[in-house]
Amino acid sequence: MVLPGVPAVGPVVAADVRHALRSGRAVVALESSLITHGLPRPLNLEVALACEARVRGEGAVPATVAVHDGRLLVGLRREALEELSAAEDASKASRHTLAAALGRPGWAGTTVSATMIAAHAAGIAILATGGIGGVHHDAGRSFDVSADLEELARTPVAVVCSGPKSIVDARLTLEYLETRGVPVVGCGTDELPGFWARETGLPVPAGVGTPEEAAALAIRHWGLGLGTGIVFAVPVPREAELPREDAREAIAQALAEAGAAEITGAAATPWLLARIGELTGGRSVVANRALIEHNAGIAARIAVALLRYSGGDRARA
């Protein structure tokens, strides 16, 4: 919707990304709330750079999305990534806070929902992240259901992740996505991955074995004009996996502590991730890093395959 007299606030697309899109090269958007709120410094910058390198290594162009000084940036140069990673007062921009984030100076990391919005506006079909938000365990009382799920229900961008982030209820998240018509596709698995663990025991409705199959499914889904996003769920690499039982215990303890300390809302995830890192002796952080970087590479392979199927013009169709 454009109101008369109200200028559109479009994304500012970096020159290399714009050029890649124009010349029909594969582009992968990367979310940045994991840089500003998900990972400790200086690991956050290392992971951000490693994700970009993985995407390039697979023959695609990375476009990290973030908000800076009133602009929605799609594609960050190295110095910008460094600034973002070091920013002490970065906010977290989702659909409902994007306008507010654009109205203040400084940096904001974009969640999956805001990154999908930016990617779609820029003509990018796929993004990579660690985990999507989901339905929280206490959602019946707190109503805490991530805006990522609604975004997936309305914006046709594929999201490569390792399932819902560890602290939400995977089963309820899967149900919600089903209700809202969002395909959840296991990549090399027929189970929903459990973020730090490879499995949840929950079967996914569809599985694919290769990036080409993933791309073909996306083309079919979008070809139907169904208008939703797609979740491509990729298990954490085996060597970095945190055993399911260890993960479960640390998560339960951290959630109980957060509940007792009444840490809620946007502050909850960063707090919980840091606490779980302590409780697992850093192994959750090792897994987190491995899966985020791995997902960036898989997203790039799917992006390359998507172009092959669509002749390079799906995102602009």
Catalytic residue (one of 31, 150, 241, 293): 31
> What whole-number distance in Å separates Cα of residue 15 and Cα of residue 74?
10
Please tell me the count of residues contacting ligand PSU according to CB under 6 A.
20
Of 298, 270, 302, 273, the closest CA to residue 287 belongs to 273
Residue 267 interacts with which of ligand PSU, Mn ion, none, CB < 5 to 8 Å by class: none
Nearer to ligand PSU, 21 or 242 (CB): 242
Give the sign of the dihedral formed by CA 180, CA 185, CA 190, CA 191. Answer: negative
Compose the 215-254 pattern: x for residues touching ligand PSU by CB under 6 A, - for all others: ----------------------------------------
Structure-token match 């390079």, residue found = 312
Provide the minimum distance between the beta carbon of 102 and ligand PSU in the complex, in angstroms, as a whole number: 17
Look up 31 and say whether it is catalytic.
yes
Catalytic residue (one of 58, 92, 165, 241): 165
Contact pick of 46, 82, 83, 144 for Mn ion (by CB under 5 A):
144
Of 296, 315, 293, 265, the closest CA to residue 20 belongs to 315
* CB-based contacts of 189-194 (< 8 A; 24+ apart in sequence): 189/233, 189/235, 192/163, 192/233, 193/162, 193/163, 193/233, 193/234, 193/235, 193/236, 194/163, 194/166, 194/170, 194/244, 194/247
Compose the 43-82 pattern: x for residues touching ligand PSU by CB under 6 A, - for all others: ----------------------------------------
* Region near ligand PSU per CB under 6 A, out of 61-69, 75-83, 144-152, 224-232: 144-152
Contact pick of 72, 93, 112, 251 for ligand PSU (by CB under 6 A):
112
Q: Rule CB under 5 A: is residue 16 a binding residue for Mn ion?
A: no
Look up 239 and say whether it is catalytic.
no
Q: Rule CB under 5 A: is residue 257 a binding residue for Mn ion?
A: no
Nearer to ligand PSU, 250 or 305 (CB): 250
Nearer to ligand PSU, 215 or 232 (CB): 232
Of 185, 173, 295, 301, the closest CA to residue 240 belongs to 295
* Region near ligand PSU per CB under 6 A, out of 30-38, 171-179, 248-256, 307-315: 30-38
Residue 266 interacts with which of Mn ion, ligand PSU, none, CB < 5 to 8 Å by class: ligand PSU
Q: Rule CB under 6 A: is residue 133 a binding residue for ligand PSU?
A: yes
Contact pick of 146, 189, 200, 310 for ligand PSU (by CB under 6 A):
146
- Estimate the crossing angle of helix 43-57 against helix 283-310, to 10 degrees: 30
Q: Rule CB under 5 A: is residue 82 a binding residue for Mn ion?
A: no
* CB-based contacts of 81-85 (< 8 A; 24+ apart in sequence): 81/35, 81/45, 81/48, 81/49, 81/52, 82/45, 83/107, 84/32, 84/35, 84/36, 84/48, 84/109, 85/35, 85/36, 85/41, 85/42, 85/44, 85/45, 85/48
Structure-token match 């959840």, residue found = 184
Catalytic residue positions, numbered: 31, 165
Interface positions with Mn ion (CB under 5 A): 144, 146
